């Protein structure tokens, strides 16, 4: 106990406390730690003061280390005590109230002071900076009485302050001495786009304007500018920059220049017992004002002070992101480019997207992005890696935008990102760090990831990206993870809803929503899910709720981009006959079908059918509905197999046709595709299907959980069986198990990943009683589904006594010419 | 406030619109989606999503909103406003029900 060294830290802010955390990580027992903080709050996320002001979060939510954390780590914390003197000779510090502390090692982390331009009147009431919680409170208070605010400084901080004041209901004008907003980070084009976006949000601007005087008696009433004009205001925020807070250090004889000068170990060059970290430090001539480099410094400091070895701080390249909701800006490096520089640019004025990349020898030197900044971190990483981008240059500015809703949608960006790409710039967390924490720590929420890696814990700009990585790592398991509610309409997650439907025997969608206290009338996410669970759990006692089906499933046809529909009848196993083809051809002619296409699923698609023709065409076709639109069995793809093929070992076609007939008319959590190949040459591509079957000499190889869509997933071997009957048994059991435990909109591939192949194998292959029980439940369900949905719709339409009624038919009202 | 009767156009009886669903009504060049809400109120919108012209009548109704069938934009049935983060507005039409008959006002 007593042999612990005494470590004292002045300043209880972001960089300092991070250094302490790193020290505790490296060696929790080395020091007896004392911290002095001039503010009365424990360490909070200063960056998030802007969102607090803008009403997007609260002070409680931005506290990073509760007082309990200090206690848990045996840290003596002196809040609200400002150090007024460092006596390096006696190795002690003295606070304004007389409190003293001795040290073996001292860390100075006093941050910086906002710069107040010393123009006449700058000390009037109502003139303030934006730096801490007290400033934030003061602005909120002022906005209750005063209505006109001015912000001097059109940089990051000034704009965020102005946005906050607008939110507080104040009329807000930003005064900037340059012509371009955020001119330290943006070129004129991006600056102008930013300006018009912010103007649209209600912010007013005076650019290229120097303020010469603050007007008013005791309190500010206005500003006077160099050109002689004036502006009325009763609150003035100065956001023109910061100055490292180094007076204390200077007075104690530590060498200071722009900041307190440190070496590559974050030790002051004057006194090896004294370290400095954060905005107050000057390293190789630079004092940083963003947290990313400061956190890097904190790490290096911890290495050094705990004797972990000599890692050095080499300085940082920084990138900038503006935290105003609805305005996406990203900038890094040399964003202007010298005249004649190699620049690639994308400009979409209407869409409000601008991207510019400055290159030198095919390497990124700088970038500016506005409107769509999703790829910013990737490009920034390429810039730091000095990656040769000659191959990407023609396509890199077209972002990988969202693909369809495939049961694991929106994860393309994260998935395609390289492992070492830094996701969280503030905390230097790479994609690999995040993935590792998910995989090794079994994490399922962003909160847990932040707690574990700090990603998304500072400016929050990467929160979306972290979510995407989570999603792509866990598959759909994330989208509906244990902790996440189904959607915004409820607090309950899929499993809880399913359980309640079962335990309470709820058999109607509306009943579920009212019994389980839904917050609204349900949406396109929860209602189709509830409808599915009800039908799966209570096949005999429930009726399908068509109002809870999305357009395709409600209409039993695929809606097209022009509002017409497509009709795909079943062609079992992809095997047809001349008569069938002639029949389809005749109907296509009769209805003047604009496009007839062979689908990728071995059948025929009639595209461009008018809604009012649907029932008629189904009737004329007189073929089973192909369910090409639904969360149902799609196709069972087959190859010719042993009937014709010289390599065929098994009759894949017959088995495929049989399976398709057996598994028809079943609703699943998501669409289900099967394939049967007659030999391992696998012409039916069975190994990228939800359930794939490959004939081998003397048996069938069954592999499952594949997917050929957005992310290709190859199946995993489930088992090898001898007979076609056994294939059918295993298929039914596997799919019923999927129906019972899959979450709505979760395809087999992510489901199998989530629940685990071994477990599925145990329940479906090894446990024969359970296999039997699963098949019985599926058969029970199938018994209720005997009617083809197209036939059912035709009958409904007929049944309806009303002359013109069919929801498939529009009501035509002739135009009456008014006299 | 009801308008002068001559602006009202008779559409169909309430029963001809399935509960919690919609029907398309074509009047001249206008295609109008007429929605029957769960409490039998009737709302009418131009049948064209401001995003990419999705036919709103095929959308799923959620409370007083409809979700476009093509890409799930959420549109408020009362005032035709598109919910954030998307932006836009759809033309709305006044409706009334008298003796079980649905009327639309094209103005
Ligand atoms: C018609 C067809 C394309 C064709 O002309 O060949 C097709 C058309 C559509 N596919 Fe597909 N897919 C078709 C075969 C496939 C295949 C190939 C296959 O089944 O062998 C795949 C990859 C295999 C797979 O699913 O794993 C495929 C993967 C997708 C995906 C991505 C699924 C995924 O899990 O990643 C989607 C998006 C989704 O489901 O949300 C999709 C979605 C769609 C939708 C339904 C898009 C939509 O929501 O409107 C398309 C409907 C077009 C229309 O309006 O009719 N389609 N789609 C094929 C119909 C086969 C059939 O006979 O039923
Ligand atoms: C509104 C706002 C938005 C920001 N947005 C971003 C952003 O989006 N991204 C980004 O990277 N950075 C942002 N920053 C900057 C970031 O907050 C700072 O770089 C970071 O907080 C600096 O950490 P620090 O520990 O050096 O200083 P601070 O966090 O300021 O901590 C220093 C602490 O020391 C205390 N102190 C000073 N002197 C004494 C003394 N003598 N005795 C005791 N205590 C003392 C101070 O009161 C203060 O609490 C923002 C800053 C603000 C104000
Ligand atoms: S049919 Fe073609 S365009 Fe449509 S989803 Fe499939 S791949 Fe995409
Ligand atoms: S057309 Fe309506 S959301 Fe795209």
Query: Which residues, in sequence order, are bridge partners of residue A558?
Result: A566
Measured CA to CA, the distance from residue A353 to residue A684 in angstroms comes to 43
Angle, CA of A317, A321 and A326, to the nearest 5°: 165
pLDDT at A405: 38
For ligand 4, is residue B59 a contact (CB within 6 Å)?
Answer: no
Give the number of whichever ligand sits closest to the CA of residue A599: 1
Confidence at residue B6, expressed as pLDDT on a 0 to 100 scale: 58
**Cβ of A813 and B25 within 8 Å?**
yes
**Vertex B83, ends B81 and B87: CA angle to 5°?**
75
CB contact under 8 A, B27 and A527: no
Contact A434, A469 (CB under 8 A): yes
Dist. CA A15–CA A11, nearest whole Å: 9
With the C-alpha atoms ordered A602, A603, A607, A610, is the resulting torsion angle positive or negative? negative
More confident residue, A126 or A816: A126
Nearest-atom index, ligand 2, CA of A248: 41
The encoded tokens of residue A606 equal: 């009639």
pLDDT tens figures, A655-710: 999 999 999 999 999 999 999 999 999 999 999 999 999 999 999 999 999 999 87
The mean pLDDT value for A550-561 works out to 88
CA of A476 to the centre of ligand 1 (A): 19
Measured from the Cβ of residue A593, the count of other Cβ atoms closer than 10 Å reads: 21
The CB density around residue A71, as the number of other CB atoms within 10 Å, is 11
Pocket lining: A787 vs ligand 1, CB cutoff 6 Å: no
Whether A631 is in the pocket of ligand 1, judged by its Cβ within 6 Å, is no
Structure tokens at A686: 């069975």
**Which ligand is in closest contact with the Cα of A560?**
1
**CA A600 to centroid of ligand 1, rounded, Å:** 8
Alpha-carbon separation of residue A668 from A317, A344, A687, A709, A787 (angstroms): 50, 47, 20, 17, 17
Using an 8 Å Cβ cutoff, are A255 and A274 in contact? Answer: no
Q: Which ligand is nearest to the CA of A296?
A: 2
The predicted model gives A485-495 an average pLDDT of 86
**Considering only CB atoms, which chain A residues are within 8 Å of B54?**
563
Among the ranges given (A219-228, A311-320, A416-425, A469-478), the one the predictor scored with the smallest mean pLDDT: A469-478
- φ, ψ of residue A172 to 5 degrees: the values are -130, 130
Least Cα distance to A684 among A656, A658, A654 occurs for: A656
- What atom in ligand 1 is closest to the CA of residue A709? 35
- CA pair distance A657, B49, nearest whole angstrom: 41
C-alpha–C-alpha distance, residues A770 and A759, integer Å: 12
Q: What is the C-alpha to C-alpha distance for residues B56 and B72, in angstroms, rounded to an integer? A: 10
Q: What is the pLDDT, as a whole number, of residue A469?
A: 84
Query: Tens digit of pLDDT for each residue in A155-194?
Result: 999 999 999 999 999 999 999 999 999 999 999 999 999 9
Q: Summarize the confidence of residues A584-599 as an average pLDDT.
A: 96
CA of A448 to the centre of ligand 2 (A): 25
User: Cα distance from A521 to chain B (closest Cα, Å)?
Assistant: 5
Question: Nearest CA to CA, how far is B105 from chain A (Å)?
Answer: 13
- Does residue B58 line the site of ligand 4, with CB under 6 A? no
pLDDT score for A238: 97
Geometric angle at alpha carbon A322, from A318 and A328, rounded to 5°: 110
User: Would you say the C-alpha torsion A736, A741, A744, A748 has a positive or negative sign?
Assistant: negative
State pTM to two decimals.
0.54
Mean pLDDT, all residues of chain A: 90
Q: Is A42 in the pocket of ligand 2 (CB under 6 A)?
A: no
- Beta-carbon contacts of residue A349 (< 8 Å; ≥ 6 apart): none
CA distance B44 to B24: 10
> Helix H segments across A40-103?
49-53, 59-62, 67-72
Q: Which residues of A touch B (CB under 8 A)?
A: 326, 510, 520-524, 527-528, 546-552, 554-555, 559, 561-563, 611, 802, 804-805, 807, 810-813, 815-816, 818
- Residues whose CB falls within 8 Å of the CB of residue A480, separated by 6 or more in sequence, listed in order: A486, A493, A494, A743, A746
Q: Are A524 and B60 a contacting pair at CB < 8 A?
A: yes
For A296-321, write each residue's pLDDT tens digit.
999 999 999 998 877 899 988 888 88
Q: Residue A412 — very low, low, confident or very high, per pLDDT cuts 50/70/90?
A: low
Q: Helix or strand or coil: residue A756? A: coil
pLDDT tops 80 at residue A527: yes
Interval A6-63: pLDDT, tens = 999 999 999 999 999 999 998 999 999 999 999 999 999 999 999 899 888 888 889 9
Per-residue confidence band for A340, with pLDDT thresholds at 50, 70 and 90:
confident
Other C-beta atoms closer than 10 Å to the C-beta of A69 total: 16
Which residues in chain B have their CB less than 8 angstroms from residue A812's CB? 25-27
Interface touch A812/B52, C-beta < 8 Å: no
C-alpha A109/C-alpha A19 separation (Å) is: 9
Using pLDDT thresholds of 50, 70 and 90, give the confidence band for residue A399. low
User: What digits encode the pLDDT tens for the residues B5-49?
Assistant: 558 899 988 988 888 889 999 988 889 999 999 889 999 999 999
Mutation site for B-interface testing, chosen from A563, A613, A614, A815 by largest number of B Cβ within 10 Å = A563
Distance of CA A583 to the CA centre of its chain: 49
Checking if the pLDDT of A397 tops 90, the result is no
User: Residue A574: what pLDDT?
Assistant: 96
B12 touching chain A per CB within 8 A: yes
Instruction: Give the pLDDT confidence score for residue A209 in this predicted structure.
Output: 95
Give distance in angstroms: CA of A279 to centre of ligand 2: 7
Q: What is the mean pLDDT of residues A80-103?
A: 96
pLDDT at A229: 95
- Cβ contact A374:A399 at 8 Å: yes
Mean pLDDT for A715-735 is 96
Structural contact between residues A30 and A23, judged by C-beta atoms closer than 8 angstroms: yes
> Does B2 have pLDDT greater than 50?
no
CB contact burial A365-375 (16+ within 10 A = b; e otherwise): bbbbbbbbbbb
* Low-confidence winner among A249-253, A390-394, A410-414, A507-511 (lowest mean pLDDT): A410-414
Position A403 confidence tier, pLDDT thresholds 50, 70, 90: very low
How far apart are alpha carbons A126 and A111 in whole angstroms? 24
Count of Cβ atoms closer than 10 Å to residue A137 Cβ: 13
Tell me the shortest Cα–Cα distance from B103 to chain A, in angstroms. 12
Residue A407 has pLDDT above 60, yes or no: no
Peptide bond before residue A4 is cis, with ω within 30 degrees of 0: no
Q: What homologous superfamily is domain B8-105 in, according to CATH?
A: Rieske [2Fe-2S] iron-sulphur domain (2.102.10.10)
Let me know how many helices (H) and strands (E) chain A has, helices first. Answer: 27, 37
| Residues A128/A134, Cβ–Cβ less than 8 Å | no
User: Which two three-digit tokens encode residue A513?
Assistant: 């929503």
Q: Ligand 4 pocket, B88 CB below 6 A?
A: no
Interchain proximity A804–B16, CB inside 8 Å: yes
Q: In this complex, do A813 and B11 lie within 8 Å of one another by their Cβ atoms?
A: yes
State the Cα–Cα distance between residues A479 and B101, nearest whole angstrom. Answer: 45
Tell me the CA distances in angstroms from A279 to A110, A245, A319, one per residue in order.
8, 8, 16
Query: Sign of the CA dihedral A23, A28, A31, A32?
Result: positive
Cβ of B51 closer than 6 Å to ligand 4, yes or no, is yes
Q: Is the pLDDT of residue A479 over 80?
A: no
């Amino acid at each position: 106990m007593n042999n612990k060294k005494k470590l004292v830290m002045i300043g209880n802010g972001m960089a300092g406390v991070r250094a302490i955390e790193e020290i505790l990580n490296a060696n929790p027992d080395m020091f007896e730690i004392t911290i002095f903080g001039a503010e009365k709050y424990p360490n909070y996320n200063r960056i998030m003061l802007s969102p607090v002001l803008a009403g997007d979060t609260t002070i409680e939510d931005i506290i990073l280390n509760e007082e309990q954390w200090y206690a848990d780590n045996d840290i003596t914390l002196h809040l609200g005590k400002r150090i007024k003197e460092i006596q390096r000779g006696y190795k002690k510090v003295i606070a304004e109230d007389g409190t003293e502390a001795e040290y073996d090692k001292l860390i100075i982390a006093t941050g910086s002071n906002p710069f107040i331009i010393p123009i006449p009147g700058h000390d009037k009431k109502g003139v303030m900076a934006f730096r801490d919680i007290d400033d934030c409170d003061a602005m909120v208070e002022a906005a209750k009485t005063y209505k006109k605010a001015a912000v001097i400084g059109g940089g990051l901080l000034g704009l965020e302050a102005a946005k906050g004041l607008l939110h507080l209901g104040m009329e807000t004008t930003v005064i900037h001495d340059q012509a371009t907003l955020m001119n330290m980070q943006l070129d004129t084009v991006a600056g102008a786009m930013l300006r018009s976006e912010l103007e649209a949000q209600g912010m007013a601007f005076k650019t290229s304007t120097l303020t010469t005087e603050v007007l008013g008696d005791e309190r500010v009433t206005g500003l006077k500018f160099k050109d002689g004009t004036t502006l009325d205001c009763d609150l003035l925020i100065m956001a023109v920059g910061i100055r490292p807070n180094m007076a204390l250090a200077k007075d104690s004889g530590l060498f200071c220049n722009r900041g307190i000068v440190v070496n590559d170990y974050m030790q002051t060059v004057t006194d090896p017992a004294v370290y400095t970290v954060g905005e107050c430090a000057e390293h190789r001539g630079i004092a940083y004002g963003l947290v990313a480099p400061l956190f890097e410094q904190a790490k290096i400091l911890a290495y050094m002070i705990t004797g972990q070895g000599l890692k050095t701080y080499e300085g940082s390249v920084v990138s900038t992101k503006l935290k105003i909701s609805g305005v996406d800006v990203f900038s890094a490096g040399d964003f202007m480019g010298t005249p004649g520089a190699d620049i690639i640019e994308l400009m979409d004025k209407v869409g409000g997207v601008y991207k510019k990349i400055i290159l030198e020898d095919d390497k990124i030197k700088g970038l500016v992005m506005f409107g769509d900044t999703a790829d910013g971190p990737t490009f920034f990483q390429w810039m730091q890696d000095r990656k040769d981008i000659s191959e990407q240059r023609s396509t890199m500015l077209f972002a990988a935008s969202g693909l369809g809703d495939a049961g694991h949608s929106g994860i393309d960006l994260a998935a395609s990102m390289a492992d070492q790409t830094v996701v969280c710039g503030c905390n230097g967390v790479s994609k690999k760090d995040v993935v590792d924490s998910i995989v090794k720590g079994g994490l399922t929420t962003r909160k847990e990831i932040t707690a574990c890696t700090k990603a998304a814990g500072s400016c929050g700009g990467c929160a979306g990206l972290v979510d995407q990585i989570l999603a792509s790592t866990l598959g759909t398991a994330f989208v509906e993870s244990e902790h996440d509610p189904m959607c915004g309409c409820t607090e309950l997650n899929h499993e809880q809803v399913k359980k309640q439907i079962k335990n309470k025997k709820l058999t109607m969608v509306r009943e579920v929503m009212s019994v389980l206290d839904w917050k609204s009338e349900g949406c396109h996410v929860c209602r189709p899910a509830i409808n599915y669970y009800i039908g799966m759990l209570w096949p005999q006692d429930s009726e399908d709720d068509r109002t809870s089906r999305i357009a395709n499933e409600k209409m039993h046809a695929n809606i097209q981009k022009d509002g017409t529909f497509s009709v795909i009848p079943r062609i079992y196993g992809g095997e047809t006959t001349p008569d069938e083809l002639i029949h389809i051809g005749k109907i296509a002619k009769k209805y003047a079908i604009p496009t007839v296409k062979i689908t990728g699923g071995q059948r025929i698609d009639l595209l461009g059918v008018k809604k009012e023709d649907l029932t008629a065409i189904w009737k004329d076709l007189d073929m089973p509905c192909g369910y090409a639109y639904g969360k149902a069995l799609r196709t069972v793809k087959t190859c010719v197999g042993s009937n014709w093929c010289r390599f065929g070992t098994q009759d894949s076609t017959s088995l495929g046709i049989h399976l398709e007939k057996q598994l028809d008319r079943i609703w699943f959590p998501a669409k289900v595709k099967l394939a049967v190949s007659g030999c391992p040459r696998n012409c039916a591509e069975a190994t990228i299907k939800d359930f794939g079957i490959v004939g081998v000499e003397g048996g069938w190889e069954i592999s499952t959980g594949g997917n050929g869509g957005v992310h290709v997933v190859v199946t995993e071997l489930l088992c090898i069986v001898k007979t076609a009957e056994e294939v059918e048994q295993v298929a039914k059991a596997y799919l019923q198990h999927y129906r019972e435990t899959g979450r709505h909109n979760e395809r087999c591939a992510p489901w199998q990943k989530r629940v685990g192949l071994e477990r599925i194998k145990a329940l479906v292959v090894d446990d024969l009683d359970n296999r039997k029980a699963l098949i019985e439940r599926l058969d029970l369900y199938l018994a209720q589904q005997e009617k083809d949905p197209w036939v059912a719709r035709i009958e409904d339409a007929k049944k309806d006594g009303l002359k013109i009624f069919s929801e498939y038919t529009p009501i035509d009202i002739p135009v009456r010419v008014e006299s | 406030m009801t308008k002068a009767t001559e602006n009202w156009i008779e559409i169909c009886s309430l029963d001809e619109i399935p509960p919690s669903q919609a029907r398309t009504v074509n009047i001249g060049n206008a295609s109008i989606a007429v929605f029957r809400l769960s409490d039998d109120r009737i709302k009418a919108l131009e049948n064209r999503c401001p995003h990419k012209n999705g036919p709103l009548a095929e959308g799923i109704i959620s409370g007083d909103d409809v979700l476009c069938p093509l890409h799930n934009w959420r549109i408020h049935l009362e005032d035709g406003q598109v919910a954030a983060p998307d932006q836009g507005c759809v033309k709305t039409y006044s409706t009334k029900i008298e003796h079980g008959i649905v009327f639309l006002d094209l103005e």
